[in-house]
Amino acid sequence: MNKRFIQAPLLIVALSVACSPSTGFELEGHIFDVPEVNAISDSARPFFLPRPEHDEGFSFYLNPEASLADQNIIGVASKERMCVRAIGREALINSTVCAARPLTWQGQSLHRVVDGVFWTYNLPGKAGQNASVALVSCFAMDDDLRTGLCTANLPYDDLILTIHLQDKQMPSLLSLYQQSITSLRRWKR
C-alpha cells in the first residue's frame, strides 16, 4: 500500500485539531487553548456560575456533546487566590484544598450526610478527629432528595478544579476529575 494514502488522513486529522477554533485562557502562568466547543462564553454562562475576572479563572464544558442536563461544567481557578479569599471564613475549601496538609481523597469511600435539602459527601474522619471532612456539597433540585446538583473543589497542581455534577454521577467523581486533568493537559501550551 502506498504510504501517501496512509499519511494523508493522518495529516488531515492533525491539521483539523491544530486549526480548530479555540479560546485562550491564562492563569497562574499556565496558558490553555480551550476548544470553542468546550469554552463557556460570557453570553452562554449559566446563571449559577460566578463571573470570574479575566485573570481569576475560567470554566469549560467537559462533555459538550452530552444533552444539556447531562453536561458537566468544570471551573478552573487559582488555588492561591481562592484560598486567600477563604481565610477567616467557614468555607469548605479551608478543610480540603486549602488545608495545611495535602488532601488525600482518591480511593477513599465517601459518606453521604443529609441535612434536609442539602447534603455532603464526607471523607472518613481520622483517628482523633471529631468530624469528617466534607469533600462534595449538594442540594436538591426537587422534592426527591435522591436527585440534586453537587460541587466538588479538588486540587490540581497550583489550581483548583470545581466540578459540577449530578448526585447520580458521584460514583464517577474520580473519572470526571481525571478527564478534566487530561483535557487541561491537552489544551496547555
Asked, for residue 15, whether it belongs to a domain, the answer is: no
Asked, for residue 16, whether it belongs to a domain, the answer is: no
User: At a CB cut-off of 8 Å and minimum separation 6, what does 51 contact?
Assistant: 42, 45
Euclidean distance between the first and the last CA atom of the chain, given in angstroms as a whole number: 36
All three cell numbers of 110, joined, read 465517601
All three cell numbers of 126, joined, read 481520622
Asked, for residue 5, whether it belongs to a domain, the answer is: no
Q: Which of 73-82, 86-95, 128-137, 151-160 has the lowest mean pLDDT?
A: 128-137
The average pLDDT across 135-156 equals 87
Contact 160, 153 (CB under 8 A): yes
Asked, for residue 152, whether it belongs to a domain, the answer is: yes
Q: Domain count of the chain?
A: 1
Cα–Cα distance measured from residue 79 to residue 59, given in angstroms and rounded to the nearest whole number: 15
| Domain around 104 | 22-187
pLDDT digits (tens, 9 = 90+) for 36-85: 999 987 666 665 665 555 567 899 999 999 998 899 999 999 999 988 88
pLDDT digits (tens, 9 = 90+) for 102-122: 788 999 999 999 888 899 999
| φ, ψ for residue 177, nearest 5 deg | -60, -50
